Amino acid sequence: MRYYSCDSHVVEGPDAFAGLEERFGPDAPHIVKDLDGKRGEFLVIGDNRPVPVGRLGIAGKRLDDPATDELIARGYDGLNPGVLNPELRLAEQDTDGICGEVMYPSLSMFTFAVKDPKIKEAAFKRHNDWVFDYCTPDPDRLIGIGCLPIPDVEASVREVKRAGEKGVRGFSIPSHAPVDQNYADPVYDPLWAILQDMNLPITMHIFTGTSFDCGLAPHWGTPGGTVKGYTLAHTSVVNSVIDLVIGGVVERFPRLKFVIAEFETGWVAHFKQRFDHAAYRTPWELADGLTLKPSEYFDRNFWVTFEDDVHGIMTRADIGVDNLVWGNDYPHHDSIWPNSMSILDEVLAGVPDDEREKMVWGNVIDLYDIDVSKLPA
């Protein structure tokens, strides 16, 4: 049996942000070394809390180990060699027993919350070009996901066409869109149309939003900064899924593929049941012309990633085995690298081989149309 991660990450190098501060000023994402007396490199966006680069590349380390703090303080120099060198990353895949990775952004996740549309468009062009170049040594084992400058639909459509034709194989959008222009708004239809026509999967990943709170209530805090914010983070993407379904988006564009990434999956079975019942109770909130139940749209148009979520596996029949895709989250600190095989043996204990094969291999291969003949045997 072979394994392919559908939730890994790049950590964007400083060259992905070079020139943005000079062009747009301090509100543009930029890298600062040794900030306010603290060692290492930091992503800085205006007055928002700086993000330590080294914090995003400590797979296999514990947060409560003082040695990890020293590693974080080294910044880029503390990352595993393959995090910035894609040819060396292939060896790190081998160490974990996997054949390849779909890689979402790390530092660029915070750019989704930048308010200036020109900054966001320019920054994501840089990201998309950087991630395409990173994947060139082996584009079937390294699939880098681009970013789109939501809520600017015209700029997003231009970037899908530009980067998609270049070879970027999927795009990330924020899990939380503006309240006054949520994903049910018909203004997004040109974007959904080109993504469907180009058969490009769309990812909504944890920690992404058009505001830094990712749409969560102020008294909850942020997904990355508070207990409530992290525990309740999935509610932001649930809100977007509901908009996409009851607003008729996936009825009008039935071949769209949405990947819900790194929110784990234990909540999904109950959500589907409750979503159907809510549609029955308040049918006047549904767009005209819906032909399926909400859970049936979910089954057709949505995939969810898991890492080591036992409860999601326990309810996999209700979630949909065809809708579950595994990821190791490399190189983030939550990652189960380099122990994915032993952890999967625990999480998937008792799961029939045909179901295991779908969740760790077959579903992601189909989702991204990966040429398996070019992957390790």
H helices present in 114-267, as ranges: 117-135, 153-166, 189-197, 227-231, 234-246, 249-252
* pTM, full prediction: 0.97
Burial of 98 (0-12, 13-18, 19+ CB in 10 A): buried
The tokens describing 304, both together, are: 């969810």
Q: What domains are defined for the chain?
A: 4-16+82-372 (3.20.20.140)
pLDDT digits 0-9 by tens, 197-234: 999 999 999 999 999 999 999 999 999 999 999 999 99
Distance CA 287, CA 249 (A): 9
Tens of pLDDT along 118-158?
A: 999 999 999 999 999 999 999 999 999 999 999 999 999 99
Residue 293: which residues within 8 A CB-CB, separation 6 or more?
A: 276, 279
Q: What is the spatial distance between Cα 8 and Cα 25, in angstroms, rounded to a whole number?
A: 31
Instruction: Dig out the tokens for 20 from the structure.
Output: 């943005």
Q: Which of 55-64, 233-242, 306-315 has the lowest mean pLDDT?
A: 55-64
* Average pLDDT of the residues in 53-63: 93
pLDDT at 377: 87
At 227 the three-state DSSP class reads helix
When pLDDT is averaged across residues 352-365 and rounded to a whole number, the result is: 98
Q: How far apart are CA 159 and CA 63, in angstroms?
A: 37
Asked if residue 29 lies in contact with residue 22, where contact means CB atoms within 8 angstroms, the answer is no
The strand pairing partners of 287, in sequence order, are: none
Q: What average pLDDT does the structure give for the chain? A: 97
Task: Kindly list the distances between the CA atom of residue 263 and the CA atoms of 160, 162, 231, 349, 351, in Å, as whole numbers in the listed order.
Answer: 25, 30, 10, 22, 22
Measure the CA–CA gap between 41 and 32, rounded to whole angstroms. 6
